[in-house]
Amino acid sequence: MSAVEALLEAEFKPARTVLLSFGFDEEVSGPEGAGHLAPFITERYGEDSVAVIVDEGSTFSTVWGQVFALPGTKIILQATLSLRERTTNA
């Protein structure tokens, strides 16, 4: 939350929508928290609408003269990889 508060104080304007969702039961697979949040987000924003999920920020770090909030325990990234066979005419 402190990272979000710092961004708000700096009047940061994200290029994409930022969603903050808070559950209370993630340590037991989130049946009442995330179990309700995920379907709501999918209904409102659609399938494949979330690019990155960052769970629990841990601390701040200064790198290259900039302060960054470091992600905590998990980062979930969904990507699609398409492979095509290259054919050559011999």
The greatest distance separating any two alpha carbons of the chain, rounded to the nearest whole angstrom, comes to: 63
CB count, 10 Å around CB of 23? Answer: 15
Question: Which one, of 75, 76, 34, lies nearest residue 57 by Cα?
Answer: 75
Name the DSSP class of 89. Answer: -
Q: Say what the pLDDT of residue 10 is.
A: 93
Q: Is 41 exposed, middle or buried (0-12, 13-18, 19+ CB in 10 A)?
A: middle
pLDDT digits (tens, 9 = 90+) for 30-57: 777 777 888 888 999 998 888 777 666 6
Q: Say what the pLDDT of residue 85 is.
A: 81
The confidence band for 75, taking pLDDT boundaries of 50, 70 and 90, is: low
Q: Say what the pLDDT of residue 72 is.
A: 61
